[in-house]
């Protein structure tokens, strides 16, 4: 049986977390649409000595892993994103009152859905944040990737705090 939330309905406490994920997807898709409207592939705008806005397409996963695999990876990463979405929603429904855990999972959810939308619409993920120093460039990324990274860091922090409380 699903846990009852404060509202008395199973899973009702997960709605704020799902709303946060929707906000992240909307912000991610909005920024990507701006890039697609105003930049051609490879175009860049120099902003500071360490940061550019650039239009890049990633057909692979993080750091362009499998980007040259021939196209099948689009469906693999879309499937992984859909499976992660189902798992995360189940976890949010099961643990709605755990704030850091909920924030972490909903951030990962928003980022995953944002990138799945790109894969389905374009066949690639639109990246545009380009950090660099002394000729070295960190692989370009986007808001969805940032949400996933922040969510993963918060998930690790949540687990460390949980382990500390159990001692």
4 inside domain: no
Q: Range of 130's domain?
A: 13-166
Number of residues assigned to the chain: 167
- Catalytic residue from among 28, 118, 127, 130: 127
Tens-place pLDDT, residues 6-45? 444 556 688 999 999 999 999 999 999 999 999 999 999 9
Please report whether residue 1 resides in a domain. no
Catalytic residue check, 127: yes
Q: What is the pLDDT of residue 5?
A: 43
Q: Is residue 84 part of a domain?
A: yes
Domain presence at residue 87: yes
pLDDT number for residue 7: 45
d(CA 167, CA 150): 26
Per-residue burial over 54-74, b if 16 or more Cβ lie within 10 Å, else e, is bbbbbbbbeebeeeeeeeebb
Q: Give, as one character, the DSSP assignment of residue 2.
A: P
What's the total number of domains in the chain? 1
Report the 10 Å Cβ neighbour count for 52. Answer: 16
pLDDT the model gives residue 142: 96
Q: What is the pLDDT of residue 66?
A: 60
Task: Give the pLDDT confidence of 41-91 residue by residue, as tens digits.
Answer: 999 999 999 999 999 998 866 656 666 656 676 788 788 889 999 999 999
Q: Please tell me which residue in 118, 130, 145, 158 is annotated as part of the active site.
A: 145
Give catalytic status of residue 43 as yes or no: no
């Amino acid at each position: 049986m699903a846990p009852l939330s404060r509202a008395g309905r199973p899973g009702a406490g997960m709605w704020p977390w799902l709303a946060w994920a929707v906000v992240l997807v909307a912000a991610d898709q909005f920024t990507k649409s701006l890039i697609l409207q105003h930049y051609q592939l490879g175009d860049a705008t120099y902003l500071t000595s360490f940061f550019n806005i650039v239009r890049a397409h990633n057909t692979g996963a993080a750091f362009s892993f499998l980007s040259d695999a021939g196209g099948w990876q689009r469906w693999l990463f879309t499937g992984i994103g859909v499976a992660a979405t189902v798992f995360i929603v189940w976890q949010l429904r099961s643990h709605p009152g755990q704030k850091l855990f909920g924030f972490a999972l909903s951030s990962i959810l928003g980022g995953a859905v944002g990138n799945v939308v790109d894969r389905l619409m374009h066949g690639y993920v639109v990246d545009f944040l380009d950090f660099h120093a002394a000729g070295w460039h960190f692989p370009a990324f986007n808001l969805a990737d940032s949400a996933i990274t922040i969510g993963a860091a918060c998930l690790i922090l949540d687990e460390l705090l949980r382990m500390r409380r159990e001692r």
